[in-house]
Structure 1
């Protein structure tokens, strides 16, 4: 099968890093591209490109039509971010990096961060959600589901369940700007089809739920699944 994607060689990693870090490929910038292409069902790349620019709009409170100039402007922003921020930061980090940093990082990532994440997740559920919803049975997702569906916990309401994804607020900085990836959105849809309930993203900081509005959303879901 012919591939149309351009190869960027060694530059791919830095391009991908900066694009993700500065959220330049999110739906609020380029639209929900996977949903768009599934709606289009193109037979050729030219058909897809024409349909995209005719129909794509930004995903957000203010929906704007996307043009080629918009994508070019995002590319220009990416270049500036890499040249003015990423390269200087990485150069400084490279110059300061030691063997002990590498050893400590692997151990910290494997032991310390895993433990912190485990305790944080359990506290969010046991010290927060379980007390808010005593009739809901919460259980950790099995590894296969966690990997495939981005679900950390299931909340059982009778024979149906809703999903919980727990994210540390520090991973987003401003969790209000968080937007699930197209892959995650598809995973959430598959979860809903299988278990009957929606998936809710809970942002935590020091074991406390930061996006407190999610409590009301879960309460409405519990009521719906209880019918």
Structure 2
């Protein structure tokens, strides 16, 4: 929208996008690992105030929806008081909608873009075609993609993370162990977790590159089990 540059400048200038106002978004969406924007929105409203806010954080209102409205009102107050000439067209409703757009829609869109970028990197580096896992597999096995090898499958789970989370990657394996073992027993192949990070400049890359050779070995193992027709 034409007035978005004003909203963007003000939102950043008065630091209303900081964790003390909207929570730790990058951390929260990676823990949530949503399959849809609606799932992310629900997680944000219900879990961010419990798990992803800095010490001393307080909610403006009874719910996170009311909290975001109040952040939008504060944005409007800053704009109307200090940028009056430039923002004659900006309304309080614009500000409330913009805060929600950034916190819910754009955070989710960035997360989806990161997972898709890593998906493309995996296909290129492994030289195989990855297929999106059906919803039932996501719920039962916690996998995002799979690689068919004959009548068996290798599972792939992509986990975007922040650099601050890298010392605790082993926890993901522990949390997903039961679901991934279920996949192994029922689908024949192992599941591999691929962690991705965003570098300065926005480039996405695979963090645990050693997993690539593990995936290649698993594909070769299943090919030997299946026979030459694989």
TM-score normalised to the size of structure 2? Answer: 0.51
TM-superposed CA distance for 1:204, in Å, is 1.0
Q: Which residue does 2:223 correspond to in 1? A: 226
RMSD: 3.1
- Partners of 1:154 and 1:162 within 8 A in 2: yes
179, 197, 214: which one pairs with 1:217? 214
Shift of 1:114: 2.6
Q: Counterpart in 1 of 2:35?
A: none
Tell me the residue number matched to 1:141. 133
| Structure 2 residue 123 is matched with structure 1 residue 130 | yes
Q: Give the Å deviation of 1:197.
A: 1.1
Matched-pair contact (CA < 8 Å) for 1:137–1:157: no
The match for 1:194 is 186
Give the Å deviation of 1:198. Answer: 1.1
Alpha-carbon distance in structure 2 between the residues aligned to 1:164 and 1:189? 13
Q: Tell whether 2:165 aligns with 1:174.
A: yes
Aligned CA distance change for structure 1 residues 111 and 184 (closer, same or farther; 3 Å):
same
Inter-partner Cα distance in structure 1 for 2:181 and 2:123? 24
Task: Show the 5 A alignment for 1:18-37.
Answer: none
**Residues in 1 aligned to 2:145 and 2:211: alpha-carbon distance in whole angstroms:** 15
Three-state SS of the structure 2 residue aligned to 1:154 is strand
Counterpart Cα distance in 1 of 2:98 and 2:173:
31
State how far apart, in whole Å, the 1-side matches of 2:111 and 2:155 are. 18
- Whether 1:184 and 2:181 are equivalent positions in the alignment is no
| Distance change in 2, residues 1:87/1:175 (3 Å) | closer
Q: What are the superposed Cα offsets for residues 63-107 of structure 1, whole Å, 9 maximum, x if unpaired?
A: xxxxxxxxxxxxxxxxxxxxxx9542x14x769973418755543
Instruction: Number of aligned residue pairs: give it.
Output: 140
Q: 1:114 to 1:187 in 2, by over 3 A?
A: same
5+ residue gaps, structure 2: 1-26, 28-52, 62-66, 76-95, 198-202, 225-230
CA pair 176-141 structure 1, distance change in 2 beyond 3 A? same
Distance 1:123 1:94, change over 3 A: same
Alignment partner, residue 208 of structure 1 = 205
Name 2:3's counterpart in structure 1: none
Find the residue that maps to 2:178 and give its secondary structure.
helix
Kindly state the Cα deviation for residue 181 of structure 1 after the two structures are TM-superposed.
Answer: 6.7
SS of aligned partner of 1:137: coil
